[in-house]
Structure 1
């Protein structure tokens, strides 16, 4: 794979992850972190960029993305993928992207209610681009992403040379623990979960583009993925730092902002006037479009590979559902989908860790056999992830909250699943090492 192809897929990877939600998280976090904004962003980068990057690298080492769950029982395997693609798809992420694109890209310039017409147009455009997956790199990596980067750079450069304010004092948890708070915010972007979905698009794009078919193909794929993930990590980190700087210096123009979108809108208007609002609208529309195209393509690939549904048919159904759900109350949809997402994210992260530390052993015809260890790690993560989800939703009894705060590390950060999952993983690794050592000793005695 030549440098131009590597750069194109690297840009595509960056654009797929950079949705409107990713643009509006860092400014609000940095405004609240105030003079500790760099520490908060540093923590944010670990989970919002580091976890997705590691996930993509692990997926590239597998024969296919589906192999990630082949060590699980079949019902758990199918349930995992179906829930992921349904939730990070027409049930939540796609309608949210369409709605955010309308709210930030169209509504500021249009006083009427045009969501229905916009959602149909936006989903038709998504459908047209998704139906030509072979051209996805050209559309997103070579055209849309450079335009997105140029507009982001313009906004950031003006902010650097003409800041509209200065960082204020940190508030809330950012006063005492800015790094940990940043880690939690980065985790809540759910990009680690999105990486599993986008892995279908990104790894397939790398495999299609990689012309080499020698015995070193896997090594070639790994090297190409490393470069592409590096491009993504650099661009995404730079974007988050830029958005963080805008947020940290926005206390004068957007005090006590309710969300990052308000901060970006105020900054764009303050720097460029009406032209700034147009630039922000274009950034939002392109970011949302690249996300909807990527998620739709990944969903269609999954249904085609797993259930034999034709790619064009599944793409059309997904876009139709997205256009419909975008107009029937996103707030209620979020309330229904959020618990599932908050449980799936720990499951996905723990599964990636388990595949690294305790890979499933080969079974019949070289395929991975059911791994009790991986199943146990995933079950532990799901159990405590459910606890975190109930905590975030305010459904946990006071007695359970007090018990969690006293017994579970990171409970208040909604990461109570992490330590139990890691301990389970390490114990299983130790048992495997001891069993291997015992078998080797027996084999030596028999010789």
Structure 2
């Protein structure tokens, strides 16, 4: 196959593997609530939803291993535990969330079917794709992603040029921080360390064995996917902000219903009555490709853990789909509520591992990995606990840690630790 074509297919596949339920539903409401501060919210959102994930893909290009390689400099035991936690989280939260979003927005309003039926059909199709492992990049990159991109471009393009651009006042006091934290909800950083491995194994299965060729292809594919995510996210946030005065969002509804109603309103305003049909198709495709990427990445890992056992791959794929069916019957909002404390625990560690792995080895020795990860873990505990116990019980601790009240208490300690350990090397 032509090299340029291969890069574009991989880039499109990466974009599609990233772009799921949260990626579509979160940005418009974020822009709607940001109002005239939509630009600053966009900056924050891009940090955790685009920049960090694409750096994660670049780190995969450098390592060309599995998720295990991201944490092995801390210790083999840590890396094993980290991998298992990430994959359990992936198949228990973001994967079922894609089925829940598909049911609530694309299936139930049209057919009125039960969430159980939707989840069963949905994950049966996911399993078919996952079991056709060697064809995943081509199937997603050549056929599914173009439909997603075309519909998104239509909604955003028409929306930006037809809106009166009358924005509501911002509901955020710290828009950049609110954007950063909302970016957590996309799961894109975790997605990067999971689906990056999927791309590498797919390239190996296609017979591309040269380390340098794979490195170049993955980097360029990452840039294509990152550019696509940047444009789509910025467009969706802007459209959400510009339609602030045209689409009514009932604040008494749950956040997931607000997100769904806003997206429906924007689609109808831009594409007319056929807008909801396009929206349903878009959500179903975007969610489906993400679920395929998550289940495949998890199955790949456990296959490697059991000495390249195909039985382990098939068993993991089946278990992942069964969990998806069970959890996918919950509503979208309930899954997000469950996800928040989990994200506050695992996301900071994932971000730190991504950033350390992309750095030259002289700045990221084993001792640097171990100490920075440990400090990140310790200082993210108050953020994690803040979603489990009453926040007022933690105010004494949070007031002593910079940015802790913004749920980013781990950032400055991790930076100071990293600089302190590398001080002599910077001179």
- Within a 5 Å distance, the mapping from 1:277-296 to structure 2 comes to 277-296=276-295
Asked if structure 2 preserves the Cα contact closer than 8 Å seen for 1:23 and 1:260, the reply is no
Q: Secondary structure at the match of 1:100?
A: helix
For residues 324-356 of structure 1, the C-alpha deviation after alignment (integer angstroms, 9 at most, x for no partner) is 232367766655554233211111111223334
* C-alpha distance in structure 1 between counterparts of 2:213 and 2:230, whole Å: 26
Relative to structure 1, the CA distance from residue 335 to residue 390 in structure 2 (aligned partners, 3 Å threshold; closer, same or farther) is same
Q: Which moved more, 1:261-270 or 1:332-341?
A: 332-341
Q: Secondary structure at the match of 2:405?
A: coil
Relative to structure 1, the CA distance from residue 230 to residue 402 in structure 2 (aligned partners, 3 Å threshold; closer, same or farther) is same
Relative to structure 1, the CA distance from residue 330 to residue 284 in structure 2 (aligned partners, 3 Å threshold; closer, same or farther) is closer
Q: Secondary structure at the match of 1:282?
A: helix
Provide the residue aligned with 2:398 in structure 1: 404
Provide the residue aligned with 2:72 in structure 1: 70
Asked if structure 1 preserves the Cα contact closer than 8 Å seen for 2:184 and 2:343, the reply is no
* C-alpha distance in structure 1 between counterparts of 2:205 and 2:194, whole Å: 18
Provide the residue aligned with 1:298 in structure 2: 297
Relative to structure 1, the CA distance from residue 76 to residue 314 in structure 2 (aligned partners, 3 Å threshold; closer, same or farther) is same
- Specify which of 165, 171, 188 is matched with residue 191 of structure 1: 188
- Within a 5 Å distance, the mapping from 1:87-236 to structure 2 comes to 87-89=89-91, 91-111=92-112, 113-163=113-163, 166-173=166-173, 177-209=174-206, 211=208, 213=209, 217-236=210-229
| Larger Rg, first or second structure (1 or 2) | 1
* C-alpha distance in structure 1 between counterparts of 2:270 and 2:339, whole Å: 37
* C-alpha distance in structure 2 between counterparts of 1:397 and 1:38, whole Å: 32
Provide the residue aligned with 2:259 in structure 1: 260
Asked if structure 1 preserves the Cα contact closer than 8 Å seen for 2:382 and 2:398, the reply is no
* C-alpha distance in structure 2 between counterparts of 1:16 and 1:120, whole Å: 21
What is the aligned-residue RMSD (CA, Å)? Answer: 2.6
Provide the residue aligned with 1:349 in structure 2: 351
* C-alpha distance in structure 1 between counterparts of 2:152 and 2:292, whole Å: 20
Provide the residue aligned with 2:375 in structure 1: 380
* C-alpha distance in structure 2 between counterparts of 1:46 and 1:284, whole Å: 24
* C-alpha distance in structure 1 between counterparts of 2:205 and 2:123, whole Å: 26
Relative to structure 1, the CA distance from residue 314 to residue 131 in structure 2 (aligned partners, 3 Å threshold; closer, same or farther) is same
- Specify which of 82, 85, 90 is matched with residue 83 of structure 1: 85
Relative to structure 1, the CA distance from residue 321 to residue 180 in structure 2 (aligned partners, 3 Å threshold; closer, same or farther) is closer
For residues 141-169 of structure 1, the C-alpha deviation after alignment (integer angstroms, 9 at most, x for no partner) is 00000011111112122213322652222
Asked if structure 2 preserves the Cα contact closer than 8 Å seen for 1:358 and 1:429, the reply is no
Tell me the TM-score normalised to structure 1 length.
Answer: 0.86
Relative to structure 1, the CA distance from residue 273 to residue 236 in structure 2 (aligned partners, 3 Å threshold; closer, same or farther) is same
Q: Secondary structure at the match of 1:88?
A: helix
Relative to structure 1, the CA distance from residue 219 to residue 47 in structure 2 (aligned partners, 3 Å threshold; closer, same or farther) is same
- Within a 5 Å distance, the mapping from 1:306-325 to structure 2 comes to 306-308=305-307, 309=309, 310=311, 311-325=313-327
Asked if structure 2 preserves the Cα contact closer than 8 Å seen for 1:9 and 1:206, the reply is no
For residues 352-374 of structure 1, the C-alpha deviation after alignment (integer angstroms, 9 at most, x for no partner) is 2333457499xxxxxx9x93432
* C-alpha distance in structure 2 between counterparts of 1:93 and 1:187, whole Å: 12
Relative to structure 1, the CA distance from residue 181 to residue 129 in structure 2 (aligned partners, 3 Å threshold; closer, same or farther) is same
Asked if structure 2 preserves the Cα contact closer than 8 Å seen for 1:35 and 1:167, the reply is yes
* C-alpha distance in structure 1 between counterparts of 2:162 and 2:338, whole Å: 43
For residues 36-86 of structure 1, the C-alpha deviation after alignment (integer angstroms, 9 at most, x for no partner) is 212221232122100001111012111412322222233311110000000
* C-alpha distance in structure 2 between counterparts of 1:393 and 1:428, whole Å: 33
Question: Is there any run of 5+ residues in structure 1 with no aligned partner, and where?
Answer: 362-367, 438-447
Question: Is there any run of 5+ residues in structure 2 with no aligned partner, and where?
Answer: none
Q: CA deviation at 1:243?
A: 0.6
